[in-house]
A and B are shown apart, each in its own frame.
Chain A
């Protein structure tokens, strides 16, 4: 009998521990995230998608705007995964590179701007939660995540130009570097 009781209470304690964790996340994380999401959604709706497209067309000409500025702005304004759609303004050859950069931007910026990628936010929040639990401010972490990401994502995007050239040769395909006007 004692064994059964012990087993039952151990069984329940697993879910109580899980529940306690859940509650701490819901009360600690959700309220702030929710307010941020409301504000960001509203700002994005008020600015509108059309203006972003104007910026996008402007940014395709050189690597810096292509892999650092445009993906950053797109991630902020459109979030994951719609930020990736801005690649449509690129010549075919640069689309993989833009993807490489923009998809990273949807992660590295999510520390400060959780609206960008709420469904995968726990990578950042999981770690940040640990830092907060020690009584430390998680803002420096979020800020560094974004700034280092800005540099690293640019490198990752640009590096893809070279791997694309390599794979292109390997597969015997040639992708256009010119922008073909779409009807």
Chain B
């Protein structure tokens, strides 16, 4: 089973690279939705069946795979944008950076003092790589929607790390984390709305005009 889980984690990392390399927003959103669905399946693969687990799986697939991507694509449609233009760093350099970070996260995970049963799994490097990818998206992209996606990817990275602990994680914590994410997306949706109304664009670099002199 853990072999299948590792393969899915490799897929997660590949999706990271896809998101770094693409310029089309809708494609990014779909990619993040797929990543969410994979993350939803993962707990079922590594832990024995329980109703708690089934609930978590259903909740995650619903939130990460359907609801949140739906909200974001709605926002994309309303703001009438298709592509991320003029990122701070070009697509190819970010792609290369993403590859470097993924490699580094493997090196870093090697040195972490992990429990022996987690040692051989890909969970830790995949989680760190996804986290760093989220950071990369947040720092290099200009549009607010891309940043929401970056935020989602980052959260996915944290979630992967949390998978190690799913057994010990009570439902309330799980639900709390998901709710947190959902509210975060809502708030960002509202912020995007306001940015686009105020500046008639959703370019976050324009926000610096708000800075006090």
Is B a genuine binding partner of A? no
Give residues in A with beta carbon < 8 Å to B.
none
Give residues in B with beta carbon < 8 Å to A.
none
